[in-house]
């Protein structure tokens, strides 16, 4: 029997004023032929995927996340290159990568420890921060070595991170359940 509990993740939301221009520029680039484009209101950088959880587990985690937010100041995130996950001949995911960021790494590590203490499992693969733009390559040729996509020097201030609930049959599909303002 499938697990019908809601699924959650913790992430840094991307402000709409930054998300919309990135979405338009990427979607209108002819060499970026993907089947499913992520709604710009769903743009985020995942810190930790939690998966299925009940209200008790979420409540246990909420206090720890609020404490983390009180210990980290707002910080700037600069996005660098556009790239893909998967085989470059038929990539699974198109994403925009933030440049190396010590505060983002620290926020992720503190969040990871809180999640583990709350009894959740954490993925074993190395953390690779990114903002997913699209999925399922439809191009006949592989992903181009050079993408003429010009996002410019995109940067944002991360002023909060959030606990999101996933609603698979909606668009946008991610709902911010709790917002944790950085101090």
Q: Clarify whether 44 is annotated catalytic.
A: yes
For 7-181, CATH gives: 3.90.1140.10
Residue-level pLDDT at 2: 63
Nearest C-alpha neighbor of 13 from the set 144, 178, 136: 178
Give the residues of the chain that fall short of pLDDT 50: none
pLDDT of amino acid 140? 87
Per-residue pLDDT at 149? 64
Catalytic member of 7, 110, 130, 146:
130
Euclidean distance between CA atoms 137 and 135, whole angstroms: 6
Map out the domains of the chain as residue ranges.
7-181
Q: Find out whether 51 and 168 touch, Cβ atoms under 8 Å.
A: no
For residues 63 and 53, give the distance between their C-alpha atoms in angstroms, rounded to a whole number.
16
Pair 92, 43: CB distance under 8 Å: no
Name the active-site residue from 44, 95, 110, 128. 44
- Model confidence, pTM: 0.93
């Amino acid at each position: 029997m499938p697990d019908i509990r809601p699924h959650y993740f913790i992430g840094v939301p991307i402000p709409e004023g930054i998300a919309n221009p990135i979405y338009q520029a990427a979607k209108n680039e002819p060499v970026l032929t993907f089947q499913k484009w992520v709604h710009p209101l769903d743009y985020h950088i995942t810190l930790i995927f939690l998966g299925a959880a009940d209200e008790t587990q979420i409540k246990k985690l909420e206090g720890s996340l609020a404490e983390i937010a009180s210990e980290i100041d707002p910080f700037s995130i600069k996005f660098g290159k556009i790239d893909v996950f998967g085989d470059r001949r038929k990539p699974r995911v198109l994403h925009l990568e933030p440049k190396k960021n010590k505060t983002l790494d620290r926020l992720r590590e503190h969040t990871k420890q809180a999640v583990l203490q709350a009894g959740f499992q954490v993925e074993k693969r190395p953390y690779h921060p990114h903002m997913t733009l699209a999925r399922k390559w439809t191009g006949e040729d592989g992903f181009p070595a050079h993408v003429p996509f010009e996002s410019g020097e995109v940067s944002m201030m991360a002023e909060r991170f959030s606990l999101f609930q996933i609603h698979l049959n909606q668009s946008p599909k991610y709902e911010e359940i709790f917002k944790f303002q950085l101090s």
